[in-house]
Amino acid sequence: MGLLKPWLRWKRFPRLLWAISAQPSRPHLSSLTWAPALSVLRRPKAQNPSEVSSYLIFTSAFEGGNDRLSAERPLSGGPTVNVALISSSYPPPPDALLRRARDPDDSSPLYLQGGIATHVAQLAEALTERGHSVKVFAWSPRFDEVSHENGVLVCRLSIQNRVTDSAYPTTEEIPIIEKRFLDRIRELILAPVDYPDVIHCHHSFAFPAAAGLRQVTKARLLSTAHILMCSPAFPYGGDVPLGTRESERRMCCLSDHVIAVSGWVRRSIIEQFDLSPSHIEVVHNGIGTDQPVLSHMTVAEWRSRFAANGENVVAYAGRLSAEKGIAGFMEAMRLVIRDVPSTRIVVAGGYANEIQAIKTQLANDAVLLDHVAFLGWISPKELYYLRAIADAIVMPSLYDPFPYAALESMAAGVPLVCSDAGGLPEMIEHGVSGLVVPLRNIDGRSEVDSRGVASSVLALLKDQQLRRRLAESARKRVVQHFDIQTMVSKVSSIYQN
């Protein structure tokens, strides 16, 4: 019982901030002027193993022998809904690049990025445009801050300390981070008059905080399964830790309803946790399909930067983690360059340490060394220009539930070569809206078919009509099936149902 006591005080904690007075700028939370009785966020304290143990006991206490958390209260806002989005990540604010410029030698991540961050931001902004009240609470490696971004109140809560200062937490660090995120949210105050109607969790790492908020507010708890790390298809570099599987099981089983970002994710959840199919609904990721008007001069500058002499440009955009198949991508590009030496490879995404690791591997590679450019994380505007000069974009993922990078490439009218991992075949029709290269099965493990990827890329580079046909079909498919408004309509319906 002793371990439970610190956690069972949640009823006496200051409640979660819901009504924050608008701030014209983005101050550090420690300098915010709060309404009367509001508490100021504090830096997180170091955790120890006993705290982690109490955290594990606390989260298991949510179950209480029932299939769901405590009973929900009815919606209060009629056709409009108050929504709290609880996420493991959120895109950087507009001045993020300026912050990095102030300390260019600091290679640790300022913000966590990826498909979940993109999804939450687009969902939040689209829901706001429809008149819903949306607040986002997200992990932040470095900053405690509150800002209004495109009509959305965004609270980034720091979860970093001496043991959690990398882009991707280790197995031992995940429980510490989960507990800290819950603690950080609890230090904020929620006015009962404005409780959320719906708590929407994104990623199992954020679920303990979402569940803790549910205990206070009795709001509906919905979770979106963007990724299932306990899936046999996930290349974890070994067996998935029991704690990860249990975290994902709780999110899927204890939420009132689960959204899966693809049919593949839905099937995986049902197989792993033996859930009723009626508990899980597929809502594919969606994006805004309107493309910006690009400056011809800037496009020319980008092409001269990477292909001044009219070389072919093959691009990759995304994280550089193992499941993205980056090693197979490099091997495929080596084969492409041997056949077409004028090809240039541009890689966008990845943190400094990841890029340096790949560069070290390429140090003695005479074929690739002078043909690859690494950009790191770039802004959405810069991504538009990269796609504008790309002859092909490659996504050779080993595991990818329903990637935004592929949707964005299709919407921009860039021919795509991808694997058949996860939900990619639901997005791309082989030979119609892209080229799909099946993964190889080697001793029970999936591997990129580097020769197949290289062959598909070469087919695109050597056939302009094929590139044009696939690009036009890909854009049409995104507009018809994966528009952001389609996604938001389905999510809003689930909120109201």
Please identify which residue in the block is written with the tokens 């300098």: 31
At residue 170, the pLDDT reads: 66
The token pair that represents 50 in the structure block: 């006993």
Displacement of CA 390 from its chain's centroid (Å): 24
Distance CA 375, CA 349 (A): 7
CB 313, CB 344: distance < 8 Å: yes
d(CA 79, CA 216): 23
Q: Report CA Rg, the chain.
A: 23
Checking DSSP bridges between strand 145-149 and strand 416-419, what pairing results, if any?
unpaired
pLDDT at 101: 47
Domains in the chain (CATH in brackets) are: 5-286 (3.40.50.2000), 296-481 (3.40.50.2000)
Query: How sure is the predictor about 25, in pLDDT bands with cuts at 50, 70 and 90?
Result: very low
Predicted local distance difference test score (pLDDT) of residue 190? 58
Q: What is the mean pLDDT of residues 184-194?
A: 64
Report residue 265's pLDDT band, with 50, 70 and 90 as the boundaries. very high
**359 has pLDDT over 60:** yes
pLDDT at 50 over 70: no
Indicate the helix (H) or strand (E) that contains 352: helix 352-362
Percent of the chain with pLDDT over 90: 53
pLDDT tens, residue by residue, 127-152: 999 999 999 999 887 777 888 998 89
Identify the weakest region by mean pLDDT among 91-95, 115-119, 130-134, 355-359. Answer: 91-95
**E strands, 276-415, in order:** 280-282, 313-317, 344-348, 372-376, 392-395
158-179 tens-digit pLDDT: 766 544 445 456 667 767 777 7
Identify residue 136 by its one-letter amino acid code: V
Q: Which range, 41-50, 116-125, 439-448, has the best average confidence (pLDDT)?
A: 116-125
Instruction: Report if pTM > 0.85.
Output: no
Tell the burial category of 422 from Cβ atoms under 10 Å away from its Cβ (0-12, 13-18, 19+): buried
DSSP letters, 428-444, are --BTTTBEEEPPEEETT
pLDDT tens, position by position, 387-402: 999 999 999 999 999 9
DSSP per-residue string spanning 26-67: --BGGG--PPTTPPPP-PPPPP-HHHHHHHHHHHHHTTTTSS
- pLDDT: is 128 or 16 the higher one? 128
pLDDT computed for residue 495 by the predictor:
94
pLDDT tens digits along 206-251: 998 899 889 888 899 999 999 888 877 776 544 566 677 888 999 9
What is the average pLDDT across 190-201?
A: 80
> How many Cβ atoms sit within 10 Å of the Cβ of residue 31?
7
SS percent in the chain: helix, strand, coil, step 5? 40, 15, 40
Q: If you write DSSP's letter for every residue of 101-170 in order, what string do you get?
A: HHSTT--S-SS--SHHHHHHHHHHHHHHHTT-EEEEEEEESS--EEEEETTEEEEEEE---TT--SSS--
pLDDT of residue 58: 34
Average pLDDT rounded to a whole number, residues 317-346: 94
Tell whether the model's pLDDT for residue 189 goes beyond 60: no
Sign of the Cα torsion 471, 476, 481, 483 reads positive
Indicate whether 23 pLDDT > 50.
Answer: no
Q: Looking at per-residue confidence, does 453 or 177 come out higher?
A: 453
pLDDT confidence of 1, banded at 50, 70, 90?
Answer: very low
- The better pLDDT of the pair 443, 37 is held by 443
Query: Per-residue pLDDT for 48 more than 60?
Result: no
Report the distance separating Cα 94 and Cα 111, nearest Å.
Answer: 12
Residue 186's pLDDT is: 67
Q: Which residue has the higher pLDDT, 2 or 218?
A: 218
For the ranges 177-191, 324-338, 340-354, which has the lowest average pLDDT?
177-191
In terms of Cβ atoms closer than 10 Å to its own Cβ (0-12, 13-18, 19+), residue 105 is exposed
Average pLDDT over residues 109-138: 89
* Greatest distance between any 2 Cα atoms in the chain: 71
Q: Give the pLDDT mean for 253-269.
A: 96
Dig out the tokens for 24 from the structure.
Answer: 């014209």
Comparing 221 with 40, which gets the higher pLDDT? 221
The mean of the pLDDT values for the chain is 80
What is the predicted pLDDT for the residue at 380? Answer: 87
Tell me, what's the pLDDT at 54?
33
